[in-house]
Chains A and B, each alone.
Chain A
Amino acid sequence: MQYCPDIIAFVESPSTHPERWVLMNVFTRNCLGVGPEVFDFLSNLEESKTKIYRIWNIWRFSNSEGLLADPSRFNRDAATWGEPRLIGNEELVKLLKEQCIIIEDLESYRKRFALKKSLLDRNNFGSYHQQLGQQLIAIERKNPEKWWLEQKFTTDLTEIRKDNLYGAVQDRFLDEWLPQKIKPGMKVLDIGCGAGLISNKLAKLGADVLGVDPNQDYIQLAKERAVKGAKFQQLDLNLSDALQVLPEATFDCIYMSDALLFYFIPYDPNKPINLDNFIINIKRLLKIGGQFISLEPHPVFYIQPWLGDPQRPFTVCTEYIHTQWRINPPLGKLVKPFLENGFLIANIEELTSQHENPIVDMRASVFAYEFPVWLMVEFIKI
């Protein structure tokens, strides 16, 4: 038995509950609320003790409340932790092991950093998508597809939600930036258009827009709600030749958001999607000088834990190049395939919030003010 080397400890609510500590494994995102007497135990693991320890079970899969809900995976406000459980030495060891605060040995612990063999695999930590799927499907019995949509859109799919970072960061950015970018008469392709919200936004700026999406229901909805200048077509984008039905050198601009990441890190690790084929296709569809606008979760900060004081949050980054927990590729890996296929980068924007926003959780908003949660890259076809 030994300490796990991946742990941090902090007091979550120092002004009101200075004795309620969080012990967190920053790699696995497991954690336990403990009284400071637990540090006496941790100071000498081998010594037999007969103390009573205060513990709070504060771990929760916070992202099941939303992709942009607090990703830190514990009940934040120590005032909501309730009364502690009073436990002895034996149970403390069991709980600390369950939450990967202490481990039997480093070798077998590191072996657990493998993909889950199935949705019911609890031993391997797996990827973020696997953890989310396990939580939603096996534990909460929710339909992941429906859950995904609810993160970004209002339930009637008429608007992007204003009460989370999709509205406060992504949509706000688009409302400010697109009018500078989109000129009347431009031909624009919106790949993965869903129910057509962004396509309509583009068309209202005077663009001639074609929105494509694999989901026939969304395309039907998009057609019913189409504004002047917006057309929609169902295309099964999972098929490698899907975009080949569109004529070449047609578009001045191709827009895609929150979808390119799946070409790098597929939702199902067993079902990779061909990125090269996608890039060849968008290059074919763009006119010379045309732009591919990619707006994706930021390679560093998206779904990182939000730690520290809400007015000056920080995060702990545990990986960058070799992605396990994150859902998107590092910056170099994201842009290189485009550069190798004849694109240049015209612009990069890191999207942030406006500090505090009255309708968005303060910690979320302030975190996103300091740490950009989306990255926009404009690639030009040369």
Chain B
Amino acid sequence: MNRNDVTSAVLAFFDSKGGLPGENIEQKLNCLYLDQKIIDSMGIIEMVTTFEEDFDIQFDADLMQSPEFQTVGGIIGIIQNLYKEKS
């Protein structure tokens, strides 16, 4: 699992929710998906569950409430780190 795989999977999740704003990948990765209401409260649970199952990882409360978790790019980084720690 490399960064591209994680990025594709995360972007695919947000695509299923109507897609991320931005004309290029950088803008999409910087998207504050909650502030921009791409997903709502229950969407957070779906997102967390999806990524935990897909990557066989576990987000703890501190990670979920960290500033990094607020952006799409940040989540990708977190998933990658957790996946590396696991393997």
A-side residues, CB < 8 A to B, are 117-122, 133, 137-139, 141
Contact = CB atoms under 8 A, between A and B. Distances in A.
Contacts of A117: 34-35
B18 to A, nearest CB: 17
Interface of B: 34-35, 41-42, 44-45, 48, 61, 64-65, 69-70
Given A138-B61, A138-B64, A139-B61, A120 B45 contact: no
A119 B65 CA distance: 8
Given A133-B41, A137-B45, A118 B35 contact: yes
Nearest to A117: B35
Question: A-side binding surface: helix, strand, loop or mixed?
Answer: loop
Pick from B35, B41, B61, B70 the residue with the most CB of A within 10 Å: B41
Given A117-B34, A117-B35, A122 B45 contact: no
Contacts of B42: 137
Contacts of B44: 118-120, 137-138
A118 B47 CA distance: 14
Nearest to A121: B65
19 contacts: A118-B34, A118-B35, A118-B41, A119-B34, A119-B41, A119-B44, A120-B64, A120-B65, A120-B69, A120-B70, A121-B65, A137-B42, A138-B48, A138-B61, A138-B64, A138-B65, A139-B61, A141-B45, A141-B48
Max chain A C-beta neighbours (<10 A), residue from B35, B65, B69:
B65
Contacts of A139: 61, 64
Please list the 3 inter-chain residue pairs (A to B) with the smallest Cβ-Cβ separation, ordered nearest first. A118-B34, A122-B65, A139-B61
A132 B17 CA distance: 25
Contacts of B69: 120
Contacts of A119: 34, 41, 44
A138 B52 CA distance: 13
A120 B40 CA distance: 11
A280 B48 CA distance: 43
A117 B32 CA distance: 11
Nearest to B62: A122
A121 B41 CA distance: 12
Contacts of B48: 138, 141
Nearest to B33: A118
A248 to B, nearest CB: 37
A138 B65 CA distance: 9
Nearest to B43: A119
Nearest to B61: A139
Nearest to B59: A138
A139 B65 CA distance: 10
Contacts of B65: 120-122, 138
Contacts of B41: 118-119, 133, 137
Contacts of A120: 34, 44, 64-65, 69-70
Given A117-B34, A119-B34, A133-B41, 7 more contacts: A118-B70, A119-B41, A120-B69, A137-B45, A138-B61, A138-B65, A139-B64
B53 to A, nearest CB: 13
A120 to B, nearest CB: 5
B36 to A, nearest CB: 11
Most buried by B among A117, A119, A120, A133: A120
A180 to B, nearest CB: 43
B64 to A, nearest CB: 6
